[in-house]
Amino acid sequence: MFALHHRQRSPRLFTRNPAGTVRTLLLIAACITLMFYDHQRGHLQKVHAALSTLVYPVQAAVNAPYALASWAENALAVHIALVRENSRLKKQLLMDAAELQQTAALQQENARLRELMHSGATLSGHVVLADMLAVDTDPFRHLILIDKGTDNGVFDGQTLLDAHGIVGQVIQVGPVSAQVALITDPSQAIQVQINRTNQRTLAVGGADVNELSLPYLTNNADVKPGDLLVTSGLGGRYPAGYPVAVVTQVHRDPAEPFASISAHAVADLDHGHEVLLYFPAIPEPPAPNPGRHNKPKAAGKKTK
Amino acid sequence: MIDTVRRRANWVIVVTYLLCLLLSVWPVPSWAEPYRPAWVVLATVYWCLFLPHRVGLLVTFSVGILLDTLTGSLLGEHALALLLVAWVTLKLHLQIRVYPWWQQTLVVFGLMLLYSFVLFWVDGMLGYTQGVLLRWMPVLITALLWPWIMQLINMLQQRYQVS
């Protein structure tokens, strides 16, 4: 009687074998298998989608104070500040509209010239606004989270832009959120061309959130500080002709075969809040799109 | 009676883990990001030390997978690092439990070295080799936080009779 009572009430002092060898090894093996398959992108798409839904409340909770602050800023804005902002935006709109007129004329001219050269027409897509969530990720990578997912048509590999240029691409997509690697992430490389000379090369990311480097240009390449880099559209990931970065530094060492060149990204990579999701005019059929072959399965389930 | 106590207990454990996950992705200025303490390691060490029959390897694995999803790292990376920390803690929990606070801090320092090394190792294989020195800052910071966090969770545990 006493023994039973005692066993029920007192905290257990000695736990028999809480870290069994078999269990430990099995779980470690599970971790390594997960890492192995996750490294080969696309294999764990569904697992990632499910997990991202699971952790979304945490991310939304972290983002909530910032969302509230920006809402309060709008709701409690002083009249005079609003008037000032309004007049500034009107001016900006007028200037942009004037520039757009020229763009329209240039686009027509470009189409005519392409027709003359018998090359295919360039297709322009449309964009959808997405908000960045104020959530930190791995400190040694440059990743952001946006509040749109497959429910809004976001797909793996989708391009993100902002008002100034290319931001990055979607690398992980869940139903209500998506993870984006900025172009300056160490895992990323983007096909660019120098706008002045049409020289094509790769710009790769690194440690700094705003810096890209161009490691594959030879010492005698025609490149100088101030050159604008735009997407070349090769590789089929990013749409062609969008600004990416401005060359800031060119260092030519005769002992090295390649020049060391760094460029500053033109998009607001470290302090933007809104980004644009780019939807191409026609979905490219050969691109590996894991989201697509989910659809027939889901439809089949529904009919059953 | 015992059922309500147990339910309460689970509630406290879940809340501490949730808070740690929140703090792991709480936005800070980008210069401060590498100095962020490994909050989840603190919770894992505490619960594995004081409630090893409740919080073991499976819970640690699940929390690690959630942390991987939150931080956008390779699935299983933080889970593996946390698992090793939990395994060492569980193996030695009877000894570590009775250490004075400064000795426990040293143990946490060692566990954090293991944790950071696994992350460094996996990141190195993936080619993310930036910030070789900055990577070791959380080791010191997390170890220094241990006495306070231990007192805090201990107070919670006493208050809600988690056992």
Residue B8 CA to its chain's centroid (Å) = 21
Among A9, A138, A145, A273, the residue to mutate for chain B (most B Cβ within 10 A): A138
Q: Strands A228-231, A243-251: parallel, antiparallel or unpaired by DSSP?
A: antiparallel
Instruction: Provide the whole-model pTM.
Output: 0.81
Can you tell me which residue has the tokens 């959630």? B66
Decide if B91 and A38 are in contact by the 8 Å CB cutoff.
Answer: no
Which among B26, B57, B80 has the least Cβ separation from residue A62?
Answer: B26
pLDDT at A245: 95
Q: What is the Rg, in whole angstroms, of the alpha carbon atoms belonging to chain A?
A: 25
Region B29-53 average pLDDT: 91
H runs (alpha helix) in chain A: 2-9, 21-39, 45-75, 79-116, 295-303
Contacts of A15 in chain B (CB under 8 A): 52-53, 93
ipTM exceeding the 0.90 mark = no
Q: How many domains does chain B have?
A: 1
Decide if A58 and B163 are in contact by the 8 Å CB cutoff.
Answer: no
Decide if B22 and A137 are in contact by the 8 Å CB cutoff.
Answer: no
In angstroms, the CA B62 to CA B42 distance is: 16
Q: Which residues of B146-159 are buried (b: 16+ CB within 10 A; e: fewer)?
A: beebbeebeeebee
| Sequence-ordered list of residues with C-beta below 8 angstroms from that of A273, at least 6 positions apart, any chain | A70, A131, A132
H runs (alpha helix) in B72-136: 77-91, 93-97, 101-126
CA-based nearest distance B148→chain A, Å: 23
**Predicted confidence pLDDT, tens digits, chain A (304 residues):** 444 444 444 455 555 666 788 889 999 999 999 999 998 877 888 899 999 999 999 999 998 988 898 888 888 877 888 899 899 999 999 999 888 888 888 888 888 888 887 766 666 778 899 989 888 888 888 999 999 999 999 999 999 998 889 999 999 899 999 999 999 999 899 999 999 999 999 999 988 889 999 999 999 899 999 999 999 988 888 988 899 999 999 999 989 889 999 999 999 888 778 899 999 876 555 555 554 444 444 444 433 3
Contact criterion met (CB below 8 Å) for B89 and B104: no
Among B87, B114, B119, the residue to mutate for chain A (most A Cβ within 10 A): B87
pLDDT at B130: 79
pLDDT at A40: 84
* Structural domain containing residue B7: 2-159
